[in-house]
Amino acid sequence: MVDEFTLPAEFRTGAYLSAMQLNQLSDAVAYLHGRATAPMMARSSIVTDTELTSTNNIWRIRHKDGYNDIHYSMKLNTSNLSGSVKIVLTTEDGAKTAQYTVETNPSAGWSETGHISTGGAIDGRSLNDGEWYQIYVDTPGGSNYTFEVHYLDESNDTSLNYPTPQGASWSAQPEWSHGDAPATGKLQAYTDGLDYIYDLVGDAGRNPAVLVDREHGPQGTDHEDSGLTFVHLQPWLIFRGSGEIIHPTDSTTNPSVSIGDEDELTVFDLSAVPWLQYGDIYRVFGCTWACEAMDAG
Amino acid sequence: MAWQSNPNISSTTSSATTLNNWRSNAEFLHDRTPEINWPFAALYLQAVESIDWDDTTWTVIHRHNYLHVSVKLWGTLDPSGLRAYVDNVDSSPTWSTSAISGSGVWYKGVINVSSYDPGDDYDVYIKADFDGTGTILVDFLMEYDSGTFYG
């Protein structure tokens, strides 16, 4: 598995083409293939009959450079609501920086998939790549209703449309040795490989917001001890609160590992969990919130 | 930076333009990889009579052909059993089961979701009624490009 993305230097007309440079291109495409074909968990979603506030639906996003649009999908069932549905952006400390009204006085059956353009690297804050911020959805109270939030995504595009599929099959990326002569099949593998990944990934980037553990959500008491389930794909666990990393089936042979003791974003090196290998499923239990990241940030 | 059509290669001579086209598209795709690996927000319900859509649904942004479903439960189900709904349609897989601690049962199943296009989103919920009360953990819902249960 290629675990790092490195682009080769730009190719120049008239320059010698090295095996090393082509192998860098092969590794870059193989890395992208690994990311695009990895298992993908369902998104955090909420279904609730409780008013959503800053205390019961905190979503956290790690900002990606150039991603200034927030896409959302929401729905109201059964009864009307009086008041506004808002998306509120805050700092990691919870200080409000902007709010956007999605709908005023939504009627039963209202649903919307849309986006807000925040501008200026998230509401003018000039956030750097990798910085964290929070979002929450704010709804008015009511009775006999259910409100759904399906996802919140940061994106570099106002549209999440996918292009017409290229229909390519994945081709293992070529390895080159010094003195190799180019072969059309080996070169075509770059076109096929990139087209294959493009079909999966699409035109617009989607950088998901991650919801708190359900026991800190709108049905907190009813959803106590829910926890978070991961496929281990990235080296660092970033989390808030304290809890345990638990083997999903056998905690006797594979003892749990305690993590954290403070209510602030904390980074944990998952290589310290002796039984955990890439691709394994594990659970995080007790923490307020958690996700994996490629770098400690 | 926009996506550029990749060339079909018919000659062993590749220009710097062709090579930079591939390089640029690799950069384009890298810019579209998420910053993080998100977890599945599991759902644990203790001493309940049932689970249904209003306990929670999950949204999947489609990419792979198979939806892998892992549910653990303690208690006796009524004859209708454990069901998985995809966009409000009963899409329950053929479950394989195994015993787990505390006299529980682990249900594992795989649903073919290849009728969706990449980027489509669909909702999933779990439905079951206990004979009396029971406890349930919706452990994960995960897309993967293999029909053999993950894990």
- By CA distance, what is B13's nearest residue in A? A182
Kindly list the residues from chain A whose CB atom is less than 8 angstroms away from the CB atom of residue B143: 39-40, 42
Q: Identify all chain A residues contacting B55, using CB atoms and an 8 Å cutoff.
A: 47, 219
Angle between helical axes of A184-201 and A19-37 (0-180°, round to 10): 30
pLDDT at B32 over 80: yes
Q: What is the largest CA-CA distance in chain A?
A: 74
Q: Chain B partners of A15 at a C-beta cutoff of 8 Å?
A: 16
Q: Give the span between the Cα atoms of A25 and A285, in whole angstroms.
A: 40
| Interface contact B20-A10, CB threshold 8 A | yes
Identify the helix (H) or strand (E) that includes residue A238: strand A236-240
Predicted confidence (pLDDT) per residue in A106-120, tens digit: 999 999 999 999 877
Would you call B20 and A41 a contact, using CB atoms and an 8 Å cutoff? no
Residue A19: in which H helix or E strand, if any? Answer: helix A19-37
Residues 105-144 of B with CB under 8 A from A: 117-119, 121, 123-124, 137, 139-144
Question: The dihedral of CA A71, A77, A80, A83: what is its sign?
Answer: negative
C-beta atoms surrounding A208 within 10 Å: 24
Which tens digits make up the pLDDT trace of B129-148? 999 999 999 999 999 999 99
Identify all chain A residues contacting B100, using CB atoms and an 8 Å cutoff.
Answer: 249
User: Looking at residue B105, what is its pLDDT?
Assistant: 97
Strands A236-240, A266-269: pairing kind? antiparallel
DSSP codes joined into one string, A114-178:
EEEE--TTTTT--PPTT-EEEEEEE----SS-EEEEEEEEEESSS--PPPPP--PPP-PPP---T
Question: Which pLDDT belongs to residue A1?
Answer: 61
Instruction: Tell me the pLDDT tens digit for each residue of B100-124.
Output: 989 999 999 999 999 999 999 999 9
Residue segments in chain A with a per-residue pLDDT below the cut of 70: 1
Q: Report the pLDDT value the prediction gives residue A183, as an integer from 0 to 100.
A: 87
Dig out the tokens for B96 from the structure. Answer: 């394989």
Partnered with residue A277 across adjacent β-strands are none
Share of chain B above pLDDT 90, in %: 90
- Two tokens, residue A209: 């917001």
Query: Nearest by CB to B23, which of A11, A31, A280?
Result: A11
Across the interface, whether the CB atoms of A32 and B30 are under 8 A apart is answered yes
Range B57-70 average pLDDT: 97
Residue A104: half-sphere exposure toward Cβ, Cα within 13 Å: 2
Each residue of B77-95: pLDDT tens digit?
999 999 999 999 999 999 9
Contact between A40 and B151 using a beta-carbon 8 Å cutoff = no
Computed over every residue of chain B, the mean pLDDT equals 94
Residue A245 in contact with partner chain B when CB distance is under 8 A: no
pLDDT of residue A6: 92
**Cα–Cα distance measured from residue A94 to residue A133, given in angstroms and rounded to the nearest whole number:** 8
Q: Residue by residue, what is the 3-state secondary structure of B30-99?
A: HCCCCCEECCEECEEEEEEEEECCCCCCEEEECCCCEEEEEEEEECCECCCCCEEEECCEECCCCCEEEE
Closest CA–CA distance from residue B80 to any residue of chain A (Å):
24
Interface of B with A in 46-75 (CB under 8 A): 46, 53-61, 63-64, 68, 70
In one-letter notation, the amino acid at residue A199 is D
With beta carbons under 8 A apart, name residues in chain A contacting B33: 32, 35-36, 201, 205
Per-residue pLDDT of B39-53, as tens digits, reads 999 999 999 999 999
Statement: the pTM of the whole predicted model exceeds 0.90: yes
- Across the interface, do A40 and B142 touch by the CB < 8 Å criterion? yes
Inter-chain CB proximity A43 and B22 less than 8 Å: no
